[in-house]
Structure 1
């Protein structure tokens, strides 16, 4: 079973915190459909970076009231409670994507380079599920088989191997 691959835009500051290990959960006001354990998230860092930074494996997706969620994520959020509450202001439901195995590319793939290979590339406002041809663009640019990171593809793997 192949994992779903979701491309999401994340504010550059938070995207970098993820790959530095200082943020272990991503917050959303809208739950991405068809996202579950073992699926993959391709992280696009917003301006001024404007680049793909790497891949995350989804551990779980939860939904609950913002107050309950904060009590669970406060040590993993990478943000303070004030920022969290501001983000979820007037929201009855909060969604959190817990992830594991953050894998950063050897070097970020800039929007310019992306558009050389993937002519109609546009950073998503919310999220975008990648099609096979788009996954192949990423493989050719990074030289990594990103699907190999998911437990949905393989039973157990200790590292992401370069594409040969």
Structure 2
């Protein structure tokens, strides 16, 4: 049994590596994708890699016009202006989830994930991690560490029942 605060996010390897290394501190999307403060977001690196080997604790999600988002957060985006402009070309809003803390984990390939997690399909954007799916101990440690830190900062309420032994 596990809790509802774990999600998997589809992401290109280069951006996953930048998040894990701490060079990218905001995850940008064209629409909100359901990441909430204190969630553990597993980075599912898309093909050809098809692996989870890192993740982050989500901070708040913000929405701004693409130009305001660039002006305020360009120094932590981990993308260049040309890519950014093309990506948000016809968008009224840019959505960014700030990264509270990032982690690297023992790698799990798509084949391993599908063996351990019945019915797993790589996410198009994000998916909630199902209660009957496998969880690495390192993921739980990261989740507890991140949520406890957010609670100590008084940004997150008490955890009522994350995981009971």
TM-score (norm 1): 0.82
- Equivalent residue for 2:156? none
Relative to structure 2, which stretch is displaced further, 80-89 or 112-121? 112-121
Is 2:6 aligned against 1:10?
Answer: no
Shift in CA distance, 101/154, structure 1 to aligned 2, threshold 3 Å: closer
Secondary structure at the aligned position of 2:57 is classed as strand
1:150 corresponds to? 146
Displacement of 1:72: 1.4
In the TM superposition, 1:128-147 aligns within 5 A as 128-134=127-133, 137-139=134-136, 144-145=139-140, 146-147=142-143
Deviation at 1:42, TM superposition (A): 1.0
Provide Cα deviations, 1:75-115, integer angstroms capped at 9, x if missing partner.
1111111111111110001100101210110x311111111
Give the structure-2-normalised TM-score. Answer: 0.81
TM superposition shift of 1:23: 0.9
Measure, in 2, the Cα distance between the counterparts of 1:83 and 1:90.
13
1:68: Cα distance to partner? 0.2
> How many angstroms apart in 2 are the aligned matches of 1:3 and 1:11?
24
Question: Are the counterparts in 1 of residues 20 and 55 from structure 2 also a CA contact under 8 Å?
Answer: no
Equivalent residue number for residue 100 of structure 1:
100
Whether the 8 Å CA contact 1:148–1:154 is kept in 2: the answer is no
> Which residue in the other structure is 1:118 paired with?
117
- How many equivalent residue pairs? 150
Contact 1:42 1:52 in 2 (8 A): yes
| Cα deviation, residue 118, structure 1 | 1.1
- Give the gaps of 5 or more residues in structure 1: 157-163
Give me the CA root mean square deviation: 2.2
Runs of 4+ more than 3 Å apart: 152-156
